[in-house]
Amino acid sequence: MISPLRFAHLPTPIEQLPRLGSLLNGPRLLVKRDDQTGLAFGGNKTRKLEFLLADAKEQGAELLITAGAAQSNHCRQTAAAAARFGFGCTLALAGEPPRQASANLLLDQLLGAEIVWAAPGERDRALRETFEQAQSGNRRPYLVPYGGSSPVGAMAYAVAMQEFIHQDCPADWIVFASSSGGTQAGLVLGAQKFGYRGRVLGISVDEPEDALKVRVAKLASATSVLMGEPIALTPAEVQVNADYCAPGYGVLTKHEREAIQLFARYEGLLLDPVYTGRAAAGLIDLIRKGFFKKEETVLFWHTGGQPALFAGKYQAELP
C-alpha cells in the first residue's frame, strides 16, 4: 500500500449539533469536520491528495493535471497541494472564463495553477490533449483523476473510516454528499474492513442512484485490491439516496438555501452551495419524514466546499 504524504490536519474533529438537532426534533446529530483538513480551506479532496501526491512523487512526476467545474473544490485543493510540494499544476475547467474570477477559481489562480478552458462536452478531450502535450514536452505529467476518485485516492477514505472508528464515536448513520464516488467507496470499504457497524448513506449530488451505486461498488472493490486484501463489494451493499439531485449540479434551490441557513443560524457552521448544502437538505428532509429513529445518532460527514459560497453566481441567491 502506498504510504501517503502527510499534510492534512488529522484526525478531523467531531462536534455535536445540539441546537439544530432540537429544532428538527429527530435523531442526535453530529458532524465530522473534513471541511477542516487544513489545505487552502480544506475539504475531502485533501485526504485523497495525500495518497495521490505520494503516487505522483513515486512516479517521478513534475506536473499535476486534473479537470473539474469552474468552481471545483477538487481543482483548488489540487492546485494547493501542487504548490506545497513543488509540482506544476494545470487545470482543465469546463465552461468559459468569467469576466471576474471569484471563489475557487480566484484561489486556483492565486495558487499558481495554469488554466485551460473547454466547452463542457470537450473537457475530457482538453484534459487528454493537455496531458499529451505535457508528455511530449517532457514535463512528466501525472493525471489526478476527476474528483481524485481513483483507487489510490479512495484509499484515503478507507483510512478515514479507520480514523473515525478510533475516535470511538457511536453513530448509527454516516450521511454525506456523494458525487464522483471516491469518498463513498473509501468509507464503504473502510466500514467493511475495519468493522463499522452503522450505515453509510451517500446523498447523490448529481448522479442517478443505480449509476452511482455501481461506480462506488467497483471503485471500492478496486481500492481493496490496492490495499492488499480484495473484497468484492456489490452495488446492493452501497446505500445511495438520489432524491435530491434532480435540479442538477450546482443549481441552488430553496432546499439547499434552507439547509445552509439552518446550519449557519443554529450552529454557526458553514455548508457549501453545491455539495454539503444539497446533502444537508436531503438529511433535513429525511429527518422530517421520520426516516431515522429518534434514539439514533446521525453523523453528517462535512466534505468542505465553503469557498464556493463566495462565487459570483450565488451572491444574489444565498442570503
> Given the rule CB under 6 A, which residues bind ligand PLP?
43-44, 73-74, 147, 149, 177-184, 272, 275-276, 303-305
Secondary structure of residue 24 in the 3-state scheme = helix
Closer residue to ligand PLP in complex, CB, 21/145: 145
Question: What cell was used for 216?
Answer: 462506488
Closer residue to ligand PLP in complex, CB, 130/179: 179
Q: What's the closest the beta carbon of residue 104 comes to ligand PLP, in angstroms?
A: 9
Question: What cell was used for 255?
Answer: 432546499
Closer residue to ligand PLP in complex, CB, 68/134: 68
DSSP assignment, residue 294?
A: T
Nearest residue to ligand PLP, by Cβ distance, number only: 305
Closer residue to ligand PLP in complex, CB, 73/90: 73
Count of CB atoms situated within 10 Å of the CB of 85 = 15
Q: How far is CA 140 from the centre of its chain?
A: 27
Comparing CA positions, the residue from 278, 252, 279 lying closest to residue 176 is: 279
Q: Where are the alpha helices (DSSP H) in the chain?
A: 18-24, 45-58, 73-85, 103-110, 123-136, 151-166, 182-194, 209-226, 254-267, 276-288
Closer residue to ligand PLP in complex, CB, 235/296: 235
Q: What's the closest the beta carbon of residue 273 comes to ligand PLP, in angstroms?
A: 10
Diameter of the chain by CA atoms?
60
Secondary structure of residue 203 in the 3-state scheme = strand
Q: Is 179 a catalytic residue?
A: no
Q: Which of 3, 72, 178, 179 is catalytic?
A: 72
Buried residues in 211-248 as b, exposed as e (16+ CB within 10 A): ebbbbbbbbbbbbbebbeeeeebebebbbbbbebbeee
Q: What's the closest the beta carbon of residue 187 comes to ligand PLP, in angstroms?
A: 9
Q: What's the closest the beta carbon of residue 181 comes to ligand PLP, in angstroms?
A: 5
Q: What's the closest the beta carbon of residue 89 comes to ligand PLP, in angstroms?
A: 17
Active site residues: 72
